[in-house]
Chain A
């Protein structure tokens, strides 16, 4: 959610029950403006909160002018001092996929993972158990990246693509209409499109190249991994992801307010197919 409309967004996203205490809200308002000034970001988003056993991580992201460019992620333990996280790489994701369980809440905590690695010494080839140390910070980076790629949502029309390439915020976006807001196809993944090129030419003919340049949520697998609900009697549409429970996307139809927040344990819900 945009740091500029933080209070309203938190109010709208509170239907999932997870919010922020007043002191955190106040500190966020102050510190995020400072972050924007110091790092010279175009827009700062408050991404959410990852609950750890001992402490929680508060995550923010900074965007540059091009909305789909890789974002800078920052974390903080007390909503005041923010530290920049390194960008996520493929190796990181692979490495941390073996770590299971909750986050500890201590960024320097190291998970130990023993794995068998083939070591060759001279002519002998044998397997040896190697204890790999994975830092919690790495795990944090890769989890945030996975969540962003999987379930970050933006409504159709909120961004538009200019012929020169960069993607801008659409300042005349007036919100989705009520009938559009209830359909999954009006929401896009807020990331580089993956499925778009697989569409048939017939489908692409109906698309508007300046608005429909991202994947929609309609074809997510498994089907039904999004729960759409209207709250406050049709004045608010809330999308909750079932794959990463804790991600809530809210949008007030016919207004500009929209945003998403993740408040959860940072674990994927692998049991989803059983639960649907």
Chain B
């Protein structure tokens, strides 16, 4: 179709001229008693012309419709398409008509005379499913002036029929009855078909070629181009030529992925809607009708829910914050938590990121005297250890009866279990609740045990987001992810919860230090705190103090000597006592006392463990002092005036400049005590063996000589 490009320009003139000539032909030949048909034929003719020429180029056919803009057909076309009030006939009117040929449904829904007439014509076309023959058929129909007389008669009948018939979507079936296929079919053969102009033939051929459906799908290039141009004209993007390729791809994709019916729910969006429903519950205030006023009063009074929004605002100044709507949802979720549990104070501790899901952590303190319902899982390992010892003893006793074999007792004793700290003290000062997303229920984390902290220091694992996931590591972590999370929370709290100097002070003086230097473990707010100027907070680290207790290497905040025997353990016998005393003496572990300033913090490889800066250097008078921890990346603290807060948002791991080196496996244990009967003697060497052999031979020779002597003596005696 190399000649098509220049055609669009001359085309507009030709069709109109042709049309006018044909119209004049029509008028000359038409029966005068069918005046309505004239106006109708004009569009019909124009339509057929367009059908003929559509293969040439869509722009060309668009121009044909300049004449077609008159008449009611226009409205029908406009109704057909997605266009609203397209003023440009080129765009607005063209496509539906083109589509009519091949997508009969939208157009044929119309009632109306002209529609019916055109549909009748279209049905003729469609009966061949848009095949070339039908189009040629219609072309021939057009170019037969005498033949048209017959056709016009049909139209007249059709017209009369249709005028009386009701409008509606079922109309299209009826006119088809008028034209039986056989009648249609035989018409061209009856009449001499004059040779069509070569140009028309070329057009028809081109269009037929374009209408071929692709082998891999039922889409033909013609339909695709129609869709593509429809889309472009609908959307009117800037610089469409550069977009052409992308649009091409998108249009093709859309053909095979039609938009779903609005009545059906989109299956992909289900989880989104579920979450939205769940979060909606957060925003609804719960409460019966009668208690409305009382609730208002209670809420206006003190509530344990922290002012998350204010904290989020300050942290946003510092450059650390979750988005504001997420902060608000967290606020609502905390409010829900406070309503559900007997909570005295509550604080948003932070967010721990995980692989599949993240954790939102809330630090709460229950009201005085509230039962916490702990499960006593810590007792089990101790009992297990004792059971083993007892079992070994029994075996030993049994075997002592058999003198020969004594099963040696295992020398390994499990290290003494350090008891966990009491609730509301040390590492278990606060209770922690976690949830994955605001709207989901809060889960309580168990208290942390010292052994968990000790092991957590040795491993480094990502959190998956599921609390019951196992933590597979070496050395094995005693617990699942919930315990690991709790242990990390404890470590982070102990290391990074700081406050400006003077905000907290010690309670009543407890006298001088207790024996053993246990130190004080409680503090209270200082009512006379005046606030430290922000610049000073940033300049010197001595203006900040830790207000959580340091965790000793033992895993607790207050030291406990595990070797102190309880009454039960004394029954195990004195042997073990002696064995224990043989081990290193447990020294009391001491850590920095409470309320130590940050300047005392150990450096990490010549790097200060904290970075301080103002939130906004451009306006220091209103900014906020921000401390960022270098030891636990993600831990931040801000202070401004009398307010301060800590938060942690991160993966939950400590920073170490060196690589993580997992500890090596323990050395292989000795299996049994060495004793002479078990010891393997070294084999004699070759020289020793030979010496022994020589000695034996000598002894043998000596004994033989003696025998011989004796025999000789005997023989001599006998002989005598």
Contact = CB atoms under 8 A, between A and B. Distances in A.
A240 B353 contact: yes
B607 A102 contact: yes
A198 interface: no
Given A100-B657, A233-B275, A51 B628 contact: yes
A229 B437 CA distance: 12
A12 to B, nearest CB: 8
Given A22-B317, A160-B245, A265 B657 contact: no
A235 B272 contact: yes
A276 B460 CA distance: 9
Interface in B642-696: 649-651, 653, 655, 657, 659-660, 662
Contact of B276 (A53, A101, A233): A233
Contacts of A100: 657
What's the dominant secondary structure at chain A's contact region?
loop
B659 A270 contact: yes
B38 interface: no
A12 B323 CA distance: 8
Interface stretch (B63-71, B98-106, B608-616): B608-616
Contacts of A120: none
Interface stretch (B148-156, B354-362, B421-429, B563-571): B354-362
A234 B269 contact: yes
A255 to B, nearest CB: 13
B457 to A, nearest CB: 14
Contacts of B246: 160, 170-173
A21 B462 contact: no
B358 A229 contact: yes
Interface in B231-261: 237, 242-243, 245-247, 249-250
Given A17-B634, A53-B630, A101-B605, A234 B272 contact: yes
A21 B318 contact: yes
B356 A178 contact: no
A162 B249 CA distance: 13
Given A14-B321, A14-B322, A15-B323, A229 B237 contact: no
Q: Which size bracket describes the interface of A in this complex?
A: 35 or more
B320 interface: yes
Given A234-B272, A271-B659, A19 B316 contact: yes
B262 interface: no
Interface in A196-244: 210, 224, 227-230, 232-235, 240, 242
Interface string B209-244: 000000000000000000000000000010000110
B635 to A, nearest CB: 11
B316 to A, nearest CB: 6
A123 interface: no
Nearest to A49: B319
A51 B320 CA distance: 12
B461 interface: yes
B486 interface: no
Interface in A175-210: 177-179, 210
A274 B658 CA distance: 14
B342 interface: no
B247 A172 contact: yes
Contact of A271 (B268, B322, B660): B660
B319 A178 contact: no
Nearest to A102: B607
Interface string A104-140: 0000000000000000000000000000000000000
A23 interface: yes
Nearest to B278: A233
Given A227-B355, A235-B272, A18 B245 contact: no
B271 interface: yes
A19 B356 contact: no
Contact of A78 (B271, B617, B649): B617
B504 to A, nearest CB: 26
A55 B614 CA distance: 11
Nearest to A160: B246
Contacts of B317: 21-22
A11 interface: yes
B269 A178 contact: yes
B325 to A, nearest CB: 8
A34 to B, nearest CB: 17
A54 B613 CA distance: 8
Nearest to B655: A265
A149 interface: no
Contact of A233 (B271, B356, B653): B271
B510 interface: no
Contacts of B316: 19, 21-22
Interface string B700-718: 0000000000000000000
Given A100-B657, A101-B605, A16 B353 contact: yes
A172 to B, nearest CB: 4
A177 B268 contact: yes
A73 B275 CA distance: 40
Interface in A1-56: 11-12, 14-24, 51, 53-55
Interface string B140-166: 000000000000000000000000000
B618 interface: yes
Contact of A53 (B249, B321, B608, B659): B608
Nearest to A104: B607
A34 B7 CA distance: 49
Interface in B351-386: 351, 353-358
B601 to A, nearest CB: 14
Contacts of B720: none
Contacts of B460: 271, 274-275
Contacts of B353: 16-17, 227, 240
A245 B460 CA distance: 14
A22 B245 CA distance: 40
Nearest to A26: B618
A276 B607 contact: no
A10 B565 CA distance: 59
23 contacts: A11-B323, A17-B649, A18-B320, A21-B319, A51-B628, A53-B630, A171-B237, A171-B243, A171-B246, A172-B243, A172-B249, A224-B355, A230-B271, A233-B276, A234-B271, A235-B272, A245-B651, A264-B633, A265-B633, A274-B460, A274-B660, A275-B461, A275-B653
Given A14-B326, A160-B245, A275-B660, 20 more contacts: A15-B326, A19-B321, A21-B318, A21-B616, A54-B611, A160-B249, A172-B247, A178-B268, A178-B272, A210-B245, A227-B355, A227-B462, A229-B357, A229-B465, A230-B271, A233-B276, A233-B437, A240-B353, A264-B633, A276-B461
Shortest Cβ-Cβ A-B pairs, 4 listed:
A233-B275, A17-B649, A234-B272, A271-B660
Interface of A: 11-12, 14-24, 51, 53-55, 78, 100-102, 160, 162, 168, 170-174, 177-179, 210, 224, 227-230, 232-235, 240, 242, 245, 264-265, 270-271, 274-276
